[in-house]
Structure formats: C-alpha cells, structure tokens
Structure 1
Amino acid sequence: MRALVLTGPGKAEVRQVPTPIAGPGQVVVEVARAGVCGTDVELFTGEMSYLHSGVSSYPLRPGHEWSGTVRELGPGVDTAWLDRRVTGDTMIGCGHCRRCVGGRHHVCPERHELGIRDGLAGALAERLVFPAAYLHALPDGVDATAGALVEPAGNAQRCVDAAALSAGERLLVLGTGTIGLLTAMLARARGIEVHLLGQQLEFARSLGFTDVWTRESLPSPPWDAVVDATNAPSMPGLAVELVEPGRRVVYIGLSGTPSTIDTRDAVLKDVTAIGILGASAGLAPAIAAFASGAVDPRPLVAATVSLEEAADVLTGRRPRSAGAGPKVLIDPVRAMSEA
C-alpha cells in the first residue's frame, strides 16, 4: 500500500510499504480522511522535541487525525467492529501502569502516540493498524471529513472543560487556528460568550463570531477564562495578565522556544493554570457535539488533497484551490490528478 514517510528533516515521500496485518486486539482500518496538523509539520521540519529526546525517529510515518472504516479484525476483537466507521485515540497507553489504571493513559510513560512517537505508524496511508480498545465509532451523521476533525475537537473539548465556565460567562481564546476555532465553537454551543484574538479574523467572522480582536483592538472587560491556543512564546504570560483573578488559564499551544510566565502575577491573582495534552477524554463528547449538529467543523477544512500532495502541505504551501479555513485533509486513495 501507499504511505507517506518522513525520511529526515524536510524530506518526505510516498512509498510502497507492507500492507498492515491485524495482530491480537488490533484492527485494520481503511483510511478515508487524515488531517495535517502543526505536530506533523514539526516532525517534518525536525523541530519536534520528541525527535531530540529520542522517543521519535526517522523514518517516521505521520498522521494522528483520521477517520475510516474497519476492514479486518485481529484475534480477540469483537466482530461488531467489522465495517464500522471509526476514528481513534492518538494516545495508546500500556494499560498496566499506575497512570493507565488511574484513567490517565494519555500521560503513560510508555505510551505510543499514533504517527508521532515510535511504535505505531500513522494514518497518512491507505490503511492503518490500530488497537481496537482505542477505537471510537462514528454515527451516521458524522461524515469522513468531520470524523477526521474529532481528534483536534477532542483537544478543544478538553480546553472548554478545563476553563470551567457557565453559560453567559466570558471566554477569551488566543489563536484562530484549528484548535482555537474548535474551542470557540464548542464553547459557544454551551452558551458561553466567546471572544477570539488572532490573525484570521475574517474567517472567524464567517463562522458567526462577532467578538474578534487583534492585540491592539482587544477591549478590557473581565475575562472569566483564557485559552492559549497559539505557538507564540509571549502568549502564555499575556493569558495570565488578562484573566480575572481567581479564574483559569488553559494552555494547549506550544511555542518553538521557551515561554515565560511571571509566577508573581499568577500567585497574586490566584490563577489556576492547566495544561492540555491529548484529546482522550474529549473524544466522545466531541463526537456527540458533531452528531447532534451543535457544532459543524467542516467549514474549517480549506482543501482535501491526495497523499502525493501531503509533502507540499507540510512545507506550508497551501493547495491552489484552498479556501480560507485552517485545515487541510488528505484522501489517501485520491489520485493526484483529481486534487
């Protein structure tokens, strides 16, 4: 089968690789859509910290945002999964350690991260082998495009949950990329008053958000919670500066260089700071939000292209026909001439 392989910093190619075979407790999924995100870009450029700490190495097959259909079952897998449309958890714990047993498999020290850490090849391929225990079924109302956005939406869901706001309270989201916009959409569905600070303001307005600001135009009402979904090293400190005393700052964005927070500001304002790693606990509620129609993530997709064009996307080149949205999806069976 065909799969995208990262062979070194700035190097990617589509290769013929062995078709996966489901082992005990595993399934083989025919991939319908796979997303490209900032983590994939960092793996491609060589900037990803995992490449320097040794948990990831080249050659590497990326892809952790995906949807597809189960086509083969390994020994011990419930036959009800066969031919079901699914997505899955990126974080695959060992299942035995204290963290896994305590419900924190996403921070298991021996975890696999699909398409990110060594151990499980990713979804930028025609087929994917995946542990059945980490599958999530997709309802009929969640199509392949929305299904591939469940993973980023799960992260965004965890951000909204961590902000701990009630309907009518005011949330400021820093960043108008995929995670920032999904956070805003999920929060709005809960009746939270959402404000966005970023750069892609016209696109945010097209999604129905009227309170969108630049740093210079940002008003100064009380912000009951702030979510930082940027990669700018100055934003974590700004989030603490802006949030109301006694409330919460949620961090999901990562900068390429260390960011600085003045802990005096955090302590004297009695701020709670929460970091979000992974979508695990947010996947099921994200699927439910998509299935109910409370959130439609599909306008975020700018283009769907072939596997052969994935390398161009990783370099930052947007497809010629791309819309204004922040997300590009890959259709692994699509011919390049169709893109």
Structure 2
Amino acid sequence: MAVVRRWSLLAVAVAAACAAFWLVRLPTPFLFGGLVGALVYALARPARPLSLPGRWFTGGQAVVGAVVGAAVDWRSLVALGPTWVLVVAVSCFSLAVSVLAGQLLVRHRVSRATATFSSIAGGAAGLTALAEELGADARVVAVLQYLRLLVVLVTMPVVVFLVFGGEDSGATTALEAVTGHTLLRDFSYAAAAIGLGLLAGTWLRLPSGAILGPLLVAALLALAPWWSGAEVPPVVVAVGYLCIGVQVGLKFTVASLRAIGAMVPTALLTIALTLLACAGLAAVLTLATDQTPLEAYLATTPGGIYAVMGTAAATGSDVTFVAAAQVLRLLIVLASAPFVAAYLKRFSDASDDDDDQRLAG
C-alpha cells in the first residue's frame, strides 16, 4: 500500500508539471515535465526513492529514435544537391564550437563527457536519453540541454522579428506537429520502427542501439508507400518522453541540484558563445549559397528544430532547405555521440573520467 501511495504521489507531481509545460507551449513538455515532476518527488521524499524498470527507459530511448527517424525527409536531403557538403561542414563546425565552449564546465568538477554532451548544440531529447550510456551525468545533461533550448526559443523570435523583419511564426511543439495523420498507419509505423529497430540495434551491434536502431528503421520505413508521411503518434511520444524524464528526475538529490545551479552562469556563457558562432556560420552560408540571411540563420540555429521549421514556414522561407539542414545536424549529433564518448573515455585523464564528486549522493 505504501508503494502504491509513493507511485501515486509521483504520478500527481509529474502530471501537474507536464500540464504546466504544455500550457506554456514548452517543446517536449512530457520529457521536461516528467523530469521536473520526478525531481520534485525525489527532493520531497528522499527516504522513499523510486526507480523505473530498465526496460521502460530502453523503450523511451527507442521512441526518441523513432521520432527522429520519422523527421528524416529523404526528398529534402536530396534537394540539398551540392549544397549538402557545405551544410555538413557548417553543422560539424557548429558542433565543434559548442563542444569546445562546453569545456568551460569542467571547472565545475564534472567529467569531460558530461561537459561535452551538456553543451552539444541540438538533439536535447536524444542526448538526455543517451547520457548515462555515454558516460555522462544524465541530470546535468538534461538540465543544461534544456536551458540551451529555452535560450534558443526565447532569442529566436527576437532575432527573426527585429533583425530580419519576419512575421509571427506560429511555431508548434513537437507533439502538435504529429497530429492529423491516420491512426492505423501511424501506430503500425511506430510499432514496426520501435520493434524492428530494437532488434536491429542488437543484431547489428550498433553503438547506443536502443536509439540508433529505431532511428535507422524509422527512416527506412518512411520510404514505403504505406508509411509515406507517417509519424509516431502523440500518445506514444508522450509515454516515451515521460519514461526518460521520470528516470532522470528520480536521480536528483539536493546536493546535485545545488551543484547544477552553480553551473548555470557558466552554461549561459557557453550558450552565448554557441549562438554567436552559429550566427557567424549563418553569414558564411549566406555568402556561399543563394539562401537569404533569415534562411541561413534558421538553418544554423542550435536547437528547437520544430519551432525553427514552423518559423520558416510562417515567414515564407525555404522550409526544405531549413528542415534538411536541421535534420542533417541532428543525425550527425546522434550518430557521432557514441564515438565521441569512446574517444573521451580512451583519451581523457583519470580526473576527467571520475564522476562529478559534488553531484554524488
């Protein structure tokens, strides 16, 4: 009975947080709501800890992979033509800049892996899901990744409206972007992508197979006529994101939260450096292609992919180019993350490999 009461309290806290974030139109409200709700429970009931079964978290990773795979538009990627080489180069450079800027976080006695994956531009949900597997502290990665996303979303309309003179974006959240599709098609697509993707990740021995397997399968299934334009249903997205958010949130302690709070000023500095670097890359992209400054800016914005695409559509920008550039960078982030983690594990010194002592407990 006591266990039921604990899970009920957790459910209430998570539901309240998710509802609040949904009302304020925060992207991925169920992931962040699950994290905050579970965090509140963990801090309020430290003597009564809870933990989700490992399979639930694996399922959440698979959902994230399927969502990213469903976002891959092969026609958009092909439409880049010769420009794709430049877009890849710009994406890789923006990632390198964000990673280098993120190393400032090491001064807060976090591991180099935690500093790296907390600061990588793009793929907040995917990196949060992969954090522990990559040898990083999932609590720090989740909070700082979503801090970056918040800054991007707050500054984007200011830049679009004041600098480029754009109109009201009418951007949608990730879940709102997947409504209006045939339920049978979407549910069968999600089931096939997740089920076959998990099997593929195991059989092919993919690094971080729980997320990369479904991502690969979802992208390939979209080529089939029956599943053309299919998306992962909102309810599946919500459950998957909840599993990730709750699992991470339940691991917080008062000490870890205090330590992360101390990192925020440094994190904001790294985010500012990343935004400035991406703005510089947008200028390069404008000079090297026939894209407008606004289109180049939206293509290089470090995160907020769904809001970016909504803004591109509302301002009459080249949505195909913007979407292709954003998705390509997201794929690069998730595909390279396991190899970056392996590099850090192999070449970092002993102090970098240690877990953050201030976050222990």
TM bin (shorter chain): under 0.3
By percentage of residues, which structure has more helix? 2
What is the TM-score with the length of structure 2 in the denominator?
Answer: 0.22
- Please, what TM-score do these two structures have when normalized by structure 1? 0.23
Q: Normalized per residue, which structure has more strand?
A: 1
